[in-house]
């Protein structure tokens, strides 16, 4: 068995010479090849599997011994042709295939083509160790012997690990219960954050997106990046105020009001953790990491900071940095050693949600100029590329969320979300949330029987106004006219309304509704324009519309109305819950945390309220682009079936739950 | 005003050349001279005072301006001849005296001549800063601007300070309440642990000695080292068991018993903090640092660790390292940002109290061989010098604390603590705790009227047995005899007792009492002897007797009985509450924390239970050294008044409160 051999690892291509008889896992480690292991080479965890061609055993590698065939195989899966690299001795020159699932830094593939995959860079890793029993001759404490075992069996650097003081109470019993074999969770390579008796190879995390309307979380296997459960619920703060500003007002008017809202959102977080762990058949004690994103006001309330300063100029954040804190300090119930990471805010009105969306959409890694917009009561706007990135918020108000609209409502079953107006008859067709049928489809009435048509939501009002413009009901400067063309145009005092639905529960688009949409869209556009001026561009290469609203408006109509600047239509993407995706990325990757922290430091913050040109842009953006605009024509020509492609029942269910 | 000048700072002798017109404080800083300042050169705090000779102003330094005479002087003391170094411009060559009180690293002088002074090396420092108001043009958060102010006004390194998340909720209001001027506490140069509105220059700490019988604390001004209040109380754990082992048993027998005892001791800590801050006219929120010492079982219970493993071999500690933890995590109520430091343990039965005693007595800095003994249910023994230090514990049992003695009792008013037996008549004289008179002094009966004579405590029983030996009542092998000499020797079954007090409530020293003391002292001596063997010495240069017991036994009698090895009598010192002193040193000095951590790592731990020679030493030590022993003769010749020197009423009161 003397001598050496050459070994090559695919796909990394790393190669080197090792002594004959070296295990493949040891060879990999000595060559810096990324192979996972939780048990440390004891044929327990099965994470170090590699592919060996079937005719190799006995020739280039040792044949399977009892540790694989008798001990391991009956207990856990071993893919065909795979071997446990910790149990295979290399005997002659060979090539080893390391499957993606055996790599620590594996990729999590995301569904949207335009975004980068997530590289898992675990913030927590598990280490199985066998600890020396206490010995009167040495008098080393349980913790010291645990550290010594970690250092000897895993990495010399672990000799100096600190331990979360919250674990001290259970350390003795875990060691004894595990008969001196325990699995240790190490957070960020520096602190022991959990100790479990015996072997364990699952550790969970939760990524939270704390929205003003909805609090949503994903329960994730931290080692594989796999989502085990997702859940969302209304933000219970809604009882203190429907929108953000009314919650800030509540805090200003009521002593202790901020504390009440903090307690409410933390209770929601705890209830979602319960719900998701139950669904996944796990215990809350298995949750070791949490990440949180939210707009600045949600961010402050989650952290127990009164948001009142965000309600008045100069809109000073108490803190914009990322926050690393023990979960318990946020009142979050999980493992006693669980850590929470709250993503950083960008600026006074550009929150951790925007930072997370940027982490997900990665304008800072893009060669093209990307515009990333998240519309809520404020629009959070990021514009730029890898060279330079700007951020601003713009006071769109709640019109895009259906508020301050005569028949407006939050997106919920019964809300009109799509509108088409016949250019000649001016008759309308529409679709409502909760049904996949258009109002002139057979069976429509039955499909909405349980909830009826209750109002119009943000995406509905945008399409309605855009269609009214395209049908000539609304002029380029936003005035409703054409009373002579149809009795759907009705006078209301000195102005006109368009009767979208007549009857017992009529739904009209009134002149003030159009004005509200004009104001909102002008604010959004002016903010974008301001950033374009600053960046010195008159064109953006790509638009990402984030958030629930961004996912549901039709980009064509958005451009017809002039919400966003012109851009190739196939370069306009709904980014979905980009903030939530960012929270997930930060949950799975320590490198991503560093990345988002660097990003918020380098991004240039523009405060629209004090920019003289904002007002000019705002006024200029009040009108609706001329009907000869190419996108106006495009909107007219888009066939209806094409609008349906995102309305599978699956998407629909998710939408009903998550809409802002 | 052009040109430069030479400036010399006394007592450091640092000198250098600075531009004419430099303030003395700036000159000191540029030369690395240690001058304190909390206000940062704003003529507010008065901590940077230096002595300038009266004829200098106008010549070598600028005369006092309104900042000193009008603004500062009416508000705070300025010693005669002193100036505020931040307000004095150097005009020509000069020498500046920096008084000790203006140095950050000032010395705290200790009363005992044989110990080193404490060099204050603050773990917390205060920094007064004026923070920029929020500005929409910059969009920097309150925290960022606070950090920027700290970096600009104090040290560039402060740009990266972290902040205790518990402070985030009050940060905004502190800044606004202080009109953007705040005082910041920085812990260990790395974390902002408090932010107060406006100027403040006092920050408090508490050093706790958690004994099995007594919990005692000192409230200290962290910047000056001045003790503001002291308090002690019975450890409420006593209701779960009088001595340590019965508390361990309680924990073994009662599920949740350890948690109950943890809660009890933490409640005592909180009540002492309340008591001391009230006495000092301070608020608990002013307490920012706490240190704790205790034997291993107290250490574990304080930290919420079940001590049951310490009750059975191999006596494994859960953790021996020092613990840095937020005070809140120990259930301790103080400032929300308060930190606790629990000193490290040495070994299974040599606790943080022994480590602290070593920090105080500094055998590791001694050229001589020092023996440091702290006697409780276990004796904790340290032996060595700067070259090598050994530690062991020895199972003395509770006899030295008055337990398991027929008339024994804890040290408390009414307990006999001093005994003299007439060599001929065998009559006894004694003194009891609570009175300064001997029993044959006039007025004795009246002085003890309120409590009477209730029993005999540890120091009393030691003197009684030693005096019985010196009077020939007890033989060198511990047998009571001499029934023919006096009717104070009475038969009890097959053995004899010595009638120390006759009458209604007799107090006797019985044969089992003598045996109990023999066993205890043999255990102690054998432990010491074992360490001497290991160290290769047959003589110790110095003995320090720590703890309440050590403070009250007479070293002469301790040597007569053979508790400790022979040593020059004037090299035997009562170290008082050395553990408490160590807690205080660690409270005042970050360097001392590093020192004690290094000390416990390097000290060699000896487990007496597994040392074969321990048993031999133990058996050999059962006898009482021959009466011709020089210390026996010495004890006979010591005049009584000499025994009284420690019995001032002041000492007495403290003793009654603190005795173990």
Among B316, B336, B337, B597, pick the best mutation site for testing chain A contact (most A Cβ within 10 A): B316
Confidence class for position A395, pLDDT limits 50, 70, 90: confident
The alpha carbon of residue A208 is apart from the nearest alpha carbon of chain B, in Å, by: 19
Name the minimum distance, in Å, from the CA of A403 to any CA of chain B: 28
Per-residue pLDDT band for A378 (boundaries 50, 70, 90) equals confident
Q: What is the mean pLDDT of residues A4-9?
A: 93
Give the H or E element holding residue B187: strand B181-187
Order of strands, sheet of B415-421, starting from the edge strand that comes earlier in the sequence: B428-432, B415-421, B455-456
Query: Do the bridges between strand A191-197 and strand A214-221 make them parallel or antiparallel, or are there none, so unpaired?
Result: unpaired
Q: What is the pLDDT of residue A625?
A: 81
Q: d(Cα B531, Cα B350) in Å, to the nearest integer?
A: 14
d(CA A149, CA A131): 5
* Structure token pair of residue A394: 């713009």
Structure confidence by residue, pLDDT tens digits, B443-462: 999 999 999 999 999 999 99
> How many CA atoms lie less than 13 Å away from A622 in the CB half-sphere?
12
DSSP states of B569-613? GGGEEEEESHHHHHHHHHHHBHHHHHHHHHHHHHSEEE-GGG-HH
Q: How far apart are the first and last CA of chain B?
A: 67
Please, which residues have CB within 8 angstroms of residue A415's CB and are 6 or more apart in sequence? A402, A409, A432, A433, A454, A455, A456, A457, A460
Mean pLDDT of A558-563: 89
Q: CB–CB of A319 and B169 under 8 A?
A: no
Q: Is the pLDDT of residue B660 over 70?
A: no
Question: How many beta carbons lie within 10 A of that of residue A518, not counting itself?
Answer: 21
Among A133, A136, A165, beta carbon nearest to B607: A136
pLDDT per residue over B524-541, tens digit each? 999 999 999 999 999 999
The mean pLDDT value for A123-131 works out to 96
Residues of B in contact with A317 (CB under 8 A): 139, 141-142
Which residue, among B395, B288, B305, B312, has the nearest Cα to B345 in the 3D structure?
B305
- Nearest Cα of chain A lies from the Cα of B259 at a distance, in angstroms, of 10
In 3-state terms chain A splits into helix, strand, coil percentages (rounded to 5) of 35, 25, 40
Output the average pLDDT for chain A: 90
Mean pLDDT of B242-270: 94
C-alpha distance across the termini of chain A, in Å: 67
Q: Which residues of B touch A136 (CB under 8 A)?
A: 313-315, 348, 607, 609-610
Write out pLDDT tens, residues B114-150: 888 899 999 999 999 999 999 988 889 999 999 999 9
Instruction: Tokens 């413009």: give the residue.
Output: A469
The pLDDT assigned to A415 comes to 94
Token pair of A20 as six digits: 């004959």
The 10s digit of each residue's pLDDT in B268-292 is 999 999 999 999 999 999 999 999 9
For CATH 3.30.420.480, the residue range(s) in chain A are: 209-342
A174: nearest CA partner in chain B: B318
Interfacial A residues in 252-271 facing B (CB < 8 Å):
none
CATH 3.30.420.480 placement within chain B: 204-342
> Which stretches of A143-203 are assigned E, i.e. beta strand?
162-163, 181-187, 191-197
Closest Cα of chain B to A347: distance in Å? 6
Q: Is the pLDDT at A65 greater than 70, yes or no?
A: yes
What's the whole-number average pLDDT of chain B?
90
C-beta atoms of A323 and B347 within 8 A: no
What is the least distance, in Å, from the CA of A399 to any CA of chain B? 26
Average pLDDT over residues A17-36: 92
Put the strands of the sheet holding A495-501 in their side by side order: A489-492, A495-501, A507-509
Please choose, from the candidates B562, B573, B571, the residue with its C-alpha nearest in 3D space to the C-alpha of residue B528: B562
DSSP assignment of B91-146, as one string?
A: -SSEEEE--GGG-TT-EE--S-TTSPPEE-B-SEEEEEEEPPPP-TTT---HHHHH
Tokens, residue A377 = 């009561």
Q: Is the dihedral of CA B591, B595, B596, B601 positive or negative?
A: positive
Beta bridge mates, A430: A419
The percent of residues in chain B predicted with pLDDT above 90, rounded, is: 71
Give yes or no for residue B503 having a pLDDT over 60.
yes
pLDDT at A590: 96
Closest residue in B to A169 (Cα) is: B305
Percent with pLDDT over 70 in chain A:
94
**pLDDT at position A248 over 80:** yes
pLDDT at residue number A629: 66
Q: What is the DSSP pairing of strand B370-375 with strand B339-342?
A: unpaired
Distance from the A48 Cα atom to the nearest Cα atom in chain B, whole angstroms: 33
Alpha-carbon gap: B645 to the closest alpha carbon of chain A (Å):
42
Size of interface A-B (CB pairs under 8 A): 134
Nearest to B134 among A303, A314, A329 (CB): A314
Q: Grade residue A636 by pLDDT with cuts at 50, 70 and 90.
A: low
Q: Residue B392 is inside which H or E element, if any?
A: strand B389-394
pLDDT of residue B655: 37
CATH number for the domain formed by residue range(s) A209-342: 3.30.420.480
Q: Could you read off the pLDDT of A48-59 as tens digits, one per residue?
A: 999 987 777 778
Q: Does domain A118-197 have CATH number 3.10.20.880?
A: yes
Token pair of B594 as six digits: 């590093």
pLDDT (0 to 100) of residue B629: 66
Asked if the Cβ–Cβ distance from A321 to B140 is below 8 Å, we say: no
Locate CATH 3.10.20.30 in chain B: 4-102
Q: Burial, B626: exposed, middle or buried (Cβ in 10 Å; 0-12, 13-18, 19+)? A: exposed
Q: Which residues from chain A sit within 8 angstroms of residue B304, using beta carbons?
A: 168-169
Residues of A within 8 A of B133 (CB-CB) are 314
> Would you list the DSSP string of A390-434?
EEEEE---GGGGTTTSTTB--SSTTEEEEEEE-TTT--EEEEETT
Q: Which residues in chain A are closer than 8 Å to B163, comparing Cβ atoms? A: 319
For B347, the closest chain A residue by CA position comes to A139
Buried b (16+ CB within 10 A) or exposed e, A212-246: bbbbbbbbbbbbbbeebbbbbeebbbbebbbbbbb
Q: What is the pLDDT of residue B287?
A: 98
A80 inside 8 A of chain B by CB:
no
Residues 300-319 (A) with a CB less than 8 A from some CB of B: 303-306, 309, 313-319
Chain B residues with CB-CB distance to A166 below 8 A = 329
CB contact under 8 A, B319 and A135: no
The answer to whether B137 contacts A610, with C-beta atoms less than 8 Å apart, is yes
For residue A596, pLDDT beyond 80: yes
Neighbouring C-beta atoms of residue B112, cutoff 10 Å:
15
Higher-confidence position of A499 and B548 = A499
**Cβ neighbours, 10 Å, residue A441:** 13
Least confident interval from A112-116, A124-128, A491-495, B255-259? A112-116
Show which of residues 126-165 on chain B sit within 8 Å of chain A, judged by CB atoms.
133-144, 163, 165
CA nearest to B174 within chain A: A318
> Is residue A648 very low, low, confident or very high in pLDDT (cuts 50, 70, 90)?
very low
- CA distance to partner chain B, nearest, from residue A545 (Å): 25
Which tokens in the block code for residue A287? 């949750």
* Mean pLDDT within A432-446: 94
The model's confidence at residue A207, banded by pLDDT at 50, 70 and 90, is very high
Q: Do A165 and B329 touch (CB under 8 A)?
A: yes
Q: Do B306 and A172 touch (CB under 8 A)?
A: yes
In the predicted structure, residue A655 carries a pLDDT above the cut 60: no
Least confident piece of the model among A123-137, B33-47, B348-362: B33-47
Task: Give how far B173 is from chain A: nearest CA, Å.
Answer: 9
Interface contact A139-B347, CB threshold 8 A: yes
Asked: is A4-102 a CATH 3.10.20.30 domain? The reply is yes
Q: Which residues in chain A have Cβ-Cβ distances shorter than 8 Å to B316?
A: 134, 141-142, 172
Interchain proximity B605–A316, CB inside 8 Å: no
Q: What is the pLDDT of residue A107?
A: 85
* A319, A347, A610 ranked by CB distance to B168: nearest: A319
Instruction: Give the helix/strand (H/E) hosting A273.
Output: helix A257-279
> Cβ-count burial of A275 within 10 angstroms (0-12 exposed, 13-18 middle, 19+ buried)?
middle
Residue A652 to residues A658, B158, B384, Cα–Cα distance (Å): 10, 51, 78
Q: CA A648 to CA A643: how far, in whole Å?
A: 11
**Over the stretch B617-627, which tens digit does the pLDDT of each residue have?**
999 999 988 65
Per-residue pLDDT, A242: 80
CA-CA distance, A185 to A363, in Å (whole number)?
34
What's the confidence (pLDDT) of residue B640?
43
CATH class for the region spanning B204-342: alpha beta
Least CB–CB distance from A168: residue in B163, B304, B314: B304
Residue-level pLDDT at A136: 87
DSSP states along B189-241: TTEEEEEEES-----EEEEEEE-SSEEEEEEEETTT--EEEEEEEE-GGGGG-
Confidence band of B191 (pLDDT split at 50, 70, 90): very high
Q: Flag the least confident range among A193-197, A540-544, B37-41, B578-582.
A: B37-41
For chain A, give the longest Cα–Cα distance: 102
Asked if pLDDT for residue B2 goes beyond 80, the answer is no
SS (HEC) of B287-345: EEEEEEEECHHHHHHHHCCCHHHHHCCCCCCCCCCCEEEEHHHHCCCCCCCCEEEECCC
pLDDT for the residue numbered A109: 83
Burial tier of B100 (Cβ tally within 10 Å: 0-12, 13-18, 19+) = exposed
Nearest residue to A110 via CA among A546, A658, A578, A569: A578
The Cα A67–Cα A52 span in angstroms is 17
**Given an 8 Å threshold on Cβ–Cβ distance, is A316 in contact with B348?**
no
- For position A244, what pLDDT does the model report? 86
Measure CA A528 to chain center: 23
pLDDT tens across B402-451, in order? Answer: 888 999 998 889 999 999 999 999 999 999 999 999 999 999 999 999 99
> Nearest CA of chain B to the CA of A351: how many Å?
12
pLDDT at position A659 is 36
């Amino acid at each position: 068995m003397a001598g050496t051999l050459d070994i090559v690892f695919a796909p990394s291509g790393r190669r080197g010479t090792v002594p004959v008889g070296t295990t493949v896992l040891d060879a990999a480690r000595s060559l810096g090849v990324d192979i996972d292991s939780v048990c440390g080479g004891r044929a327990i965890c099965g994470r170090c599997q590699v592919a060996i061609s079937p005719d190799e055993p006995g020739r280039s590698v040792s044949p399977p011994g009892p540790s694989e065939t008798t001990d391991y195989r009956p207990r856990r899966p071993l893919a065909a042709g795979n071997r446990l690299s910790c149990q295979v001795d290399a005997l002659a020159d060979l090539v080893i295939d390391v499957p993606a699932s055996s790599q620590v830094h594996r990729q999590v593939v995301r569904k949207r083509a335009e975004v980068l995959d997530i590289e898992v860079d675990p913030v927590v890793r598990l280490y199985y160790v066998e600890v020396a029993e206490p010995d009167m001759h040495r008098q080393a404490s349980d913790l010291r012997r645990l550290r010594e075992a970690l250092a000897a069996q895993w990495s010399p650097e672990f000799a100096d690990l600190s331990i979360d003081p919250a674990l001290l109470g259970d350390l003795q019993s875990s060691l004894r219960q595990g008969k001196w074999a325990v699995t240790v969770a190490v957070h960020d390579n520096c602190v022991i954050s959990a100790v479990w008796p015996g072997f364990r190879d699952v550790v969970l995390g939760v990524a939270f997106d704390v929205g003003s309307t909805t609090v949503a979380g994903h329960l994730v296997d931290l080692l594989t990046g796999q989502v085990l459960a997702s859940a969302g619920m209304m933000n219970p703060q809604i009882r203190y105020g429907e929108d953000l500003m009314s919650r800030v007002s509540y805090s200003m008017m009521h002593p202790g009001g901020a504390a009440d809202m903090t307690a409410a959102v933390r209770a929601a977080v705890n209830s979602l953790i319960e719900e998701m762990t139950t669904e996944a058949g796990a215990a809350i004690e298995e949750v070791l990491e949490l990440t949180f994103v939210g707009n600045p006001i949600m961010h402050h309330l989650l952290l127990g900071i009164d948001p009142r300063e965000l309600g008045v100029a100069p809109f000073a954040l108490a803190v914009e940095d990322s926050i690393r804190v023990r979960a318990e300090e946020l009142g979050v119930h999980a493992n006693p050693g669980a850590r929470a990471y709250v993503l950083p805010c960008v600026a006074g009105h550009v929150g951790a949600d925007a930072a997370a969306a940027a982490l997900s959409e990665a304008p800072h890694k893009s060669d093209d100029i990307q515009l990333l917009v998240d519309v809520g009561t404020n629009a959070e706007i990021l514009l730029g590329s890898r060279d330079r990135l700007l951020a601003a918020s713009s006071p769109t108000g709640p019109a895009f969320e259906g508020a301050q609209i005569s028949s407006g409502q939050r997106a919920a079953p019964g809300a009109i979300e799509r509108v088409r107006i016949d250019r000649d008859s001016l008759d309308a067709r529409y679709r409502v949330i909760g049904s996949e049928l258009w109002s002139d489809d057979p069976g429509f009435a039955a499909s909405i029987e349980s909830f009826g048509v209750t109002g119009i939501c943000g995406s509905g009002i945008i399409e309605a106004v855009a269609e009214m413009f395209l049908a000539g009901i609304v002029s380029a400067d936003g005035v409703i006219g054409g009373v002579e063309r149809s009795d759907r145009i009705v006078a209301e005092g000195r102005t006109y309304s368009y009767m979208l639905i007549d009857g017992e529960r009529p739904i009209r688009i009134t002149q003030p509704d159009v004005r509200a949409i004009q104001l909102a869209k002008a604010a959004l556009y002016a903010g974008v324009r301001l950033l374009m001026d600053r960046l010195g561009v008159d064109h953006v290469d790509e638009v990402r519309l984030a958030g629930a609203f961004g996912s549901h408006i039709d980009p064509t109509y958005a451009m017809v109305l002039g919400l966003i600047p012109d851009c190739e239509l196939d370069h306009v993407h709904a980014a979905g819950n980009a903030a939530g995706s960012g929270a997930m990325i930060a949950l799975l990757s320590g490198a991503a945390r560093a990345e988002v922290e660097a990003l918020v430091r380098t991004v240039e913050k523009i405060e629209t309220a004090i920019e003289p040109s904002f007002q000019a842009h705002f006024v200029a953006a009040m009108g609706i682009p001329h009907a000869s605009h190419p996108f106006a024509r495009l909107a007219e020509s888009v066939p209806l079936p094409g609008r349906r492609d995102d309305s599978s029942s699956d998407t629909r269910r998710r939408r009903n739950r998550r809409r802002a």
